[in-house]
C-alpha cells in the first residue's frame, strides 16, 4: 500500500462539485495501487450517486450546506464515509425504485447496493453518515 491511506474532503453541497469528488476517488485509488479500472469506475459512480442523493434529498439543493467525504484504506478494503448535517434519514424508508419502470434517474440506491460489498447508515449527532466498503484487490 502507498502512503496515501486516508484523505478527508469537505465540499459544498453543489452538483458542480460531484465531478471533482469523482476525480478525488480515482486519484486516491490510483495512488493506492489499484489498477482495476472497473473497480475505480464503480467507486467513482457510487460516490457520485451518494453525493447527489445528499444534495437532492437531504439538502434540497442548498449549496450553503457542507458534505464531508473520507476515503480510507483499511487492510484490503476501501472505506468511503459520506457525512451530511441535514435531516435524519429514515433508513427503513430507503428503497430503490422498481427497475421495471423505464425512466431516467432514481438508480442511486440500486447502484450503491450493487457495487459495494457493504453499506450502512450510522446515526450522527447532527445529520447522517453513510459508510461504503469494497475490497480493493
11-40 pLDDT per residue, tens: 999 999 999 999 999 999 999 999 999 999
pTM of the full structure = 0.86
HSE (CB half, 13 Å, CA atoms) of 105? Answer: 3
Whether 77 is covered by a domain: the verdict is yes
Residue 1 lies in a domain: no
| Domain harbouring 89, CATH code | 3.30.565.10
Q: Residues 6 or more apart from 57 whose CB is under 8 A from it?
A: none
Query: In terms of pLDDT, which residue wins out, 98 or 120?
Result: 120
In a domain, 126, yes or no: yes
Are 112 and 49 contacting, i.e. CB atoms less than 8 angstroms apart?
Answer: yes
**Looking at residues 81-97, what average pLDDT do you find?**
77
Residue 15 in domain: yes
| Domain with 33 in it | 6-135
Give the E-state strand segments of the chain in sequence order: 6-12, 66-74, 77-84, 118-124, 127-135
Overall domain count for the chain: 1
> In 3-state terms, what secondary structure has residue 89?
coil
Amino acid at each position: 500500500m502507498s502512503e496515501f491511506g486516508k484523505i478527508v474532503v469537505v465540499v459544498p453541497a453543489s452538483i458542480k462539485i460531484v465531478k471533482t469528488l469523482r476525480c478525488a476517488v480515482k486519484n486516491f485509488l490510483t495512488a493506492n495501487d489499484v489498477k482495476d479500472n472497473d473497480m475505480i469506475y464503480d467507486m467513482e459512480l457510487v460516490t457520485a450517486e451518494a453525493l447527489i442523493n445528499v444534495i437532492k434529498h437531504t439538502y434540497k439543493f442548498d449549496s450553503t450546506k457542507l458534505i464531508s467525504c473520507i476515503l480510507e484504506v483499511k487492510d484490503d478494503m476501501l472505506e468511503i464515509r459520506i457525512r451530511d448535517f441535514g435531516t435524519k434519514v429514515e433508513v427503513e424508508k430507503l428503497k430503490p425504485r422498481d427497475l421495471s419502470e423505464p425512466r431516467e434517474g432514481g438508480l442511486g440506491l440500486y447502484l450503491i447496493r450493487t457495487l459495494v460489498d457493504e453499506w450502512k447508515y450510522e446515526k450522527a449527532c447532527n445529520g447522517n453518515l453513510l459508510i461504503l466498503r469494497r475490497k480493493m484487490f
